[in-house]
Amino acid sequence: MENTSGQKDIKRIIQIVLQLAVLAFILGWCFRILSPFILPILWGLVISITVYPMFVKLKAKMGGRGKLASILITVVFLAILLVPTFLLSGSLIDGVRELKAMIDEGRSPIPPPGERAQALPAFAQPFVSIWQETSENLQASVSKHPEGFKKVGVVVLSFIANTGAGILSFLVSIIIAGVLLAYAKEGGHTVKRIFVKLAGKQGEELAAVAEATIRSVVKGILGVAIIQTLLSGIGFVVAGVPAAGLWTLFCLIFAIIQVGVGPVMIPMIFYVFNTADLTTGILFAIWGVLTLVSDNILKPILLGRGAPVPLLVVFLGAIGGFIATGFLGLFLGAVILSLGYKLFESWMDDEKPEPSDLADSVKFSEKE
């Protein structure tokens, strides 16, 4: 009897191992097939969760026609992405070509200060001197080490190419988000079931935390970054800043990692004021200051009472996502790491003992 029971257990174990092996093989194959689409699908899910309240209101105004509402939202979002891209892409390409030509010819990408800079007050002259020295020294460095600067140019071109691929992924993500919105009810029910399956009774609560975190991060952090970047890009184009598209791209990166557009905008204000006519310089300086302070106005409106996660989490998520997966990871990394942080925080809070338990433990220790 014992031998028979043991043989049955062995057969059962072998059967379970084979089933798990087949399941792992199928899941691995599915992952390999879907791997090119994982990032666009995840970003599409993030977009759909973020705009779902807007979708519900629009659907109600359209008499409950959810598919028509999702199509309208998709078209609007595609226009919001494509119009600035077309406006700035020409400037971006021209700027990269000009930068490459300067490096090939041994010229400095940084122009010397104009005549107006020499007439600035005494307190500004140290900055003018630094500008002049940087222009001259950089030009000498370019002349001495052209190969090194050519390698830098190749890196910049590669970065631009990755940015183009990221924008295409954005387009795919927006279309995926539209499809998810059209089937939002079924999809939301499925997501909640997944959370309940993974986390048990806490599943619905964690799903609500995930939904709130995604909306807060996208609206309050990424939304502000995109608005500031658009304002900066408009100012660069109108003021005639060379390579406006390239500087706008740098503004986007700095804004997402929570540094702000200041590292790009402040030097541009100084540059335009000293190279363009006086009216353009003053107007651009006013526009630049308004863009810089818009962060303090937009965040309380879009984010609410403070960030949902520490800014360090957003910074690490954006940088790590960009290094790991390119331009799209710059956005998605911040969202995913923030989501992971909030879920971990919720899990840790649930493990805390109740106040009554703490009181009982204190009484017990006092009796001892």
Q: What is the pLDDT of residue 359?
A: 46
Tokens at 132, concatenated? 């002049």
Whether residue 282 contacts residue 252, with contact meaning beta carbons closer than 8 Å, is answered with no
First-to-last C-alpha distance (Å) of the chain: 54
- For residue range 304-338, what is the model confidence (pLDDT) as tens digits? 545 567 778 888 888 888 777 777 777 778 888 88
Q: What single letter denotes the amino acid at residue 71? A: I
Whether residue 314 contacts residue 258, with contact meaning beta carbons closer than 8 Å, is answered with yes
Tokens at 150, concatenated? 């050519």
Q: What is the pLDDT of residue 19?
A: 86
Tokens at 180, concatenated? 């998810």
Please give the Cα distance from 242 to 239 (Å, whole number).
9
Please tell me the pTM assigned to this model: 0.65
Angle at which helices 223-239 and 66-105 pack, to 10 degrees? 50
C-alpha distances in Å from residue 118, one per residue of 109, 127, 136, 282: 21, 11, 16, 17
Q: How many CB atoms lie within 10 A of CB 320?
A: 16
Please give the Cα distance from 236 to 268 (Å, whole number).
8
Please give the Cα distance from 165 to 328 (Å, whole number).
9
Please give the Cα distance from 346 to 349 (Å, whole number).
5
Our CA angle for 44, 48, 50, nearest 5°, is 115
Q: What string of pLDDT tens digits covers the 368 residues of the chain?
A: 556 666 777 878 888 888 889 989 998 888 888 787 888 888 888 888 888 888 888 888 888 888 888 888 888 888 877 777 776 666 666 666 666 666 566 566 666 666 666 666 666 667 667 666 666 666 565 565 566 656 666 666 666 666 667 777 778 888 888 888 887 776 667 777 777 766 666 667 777 777 777 777 777 778 888 888 889 988 988 888 877 877 888 888 888 877 888 888 988 888 888 777 888 888 999 999 999 888 777 777 766 545 567 778 888 888 888 777 777 777 778 888 888 887 787 777 765 544 444 444 444 344 44
Tokens at 232, concatenated? 């900066």
- For residue range 69-94, what is the model confidence (pLDDT) as tens digits? 888 888 888 887 777 777 666 666 66
Nearest to 59 by CA among 190, 181, 175: 181
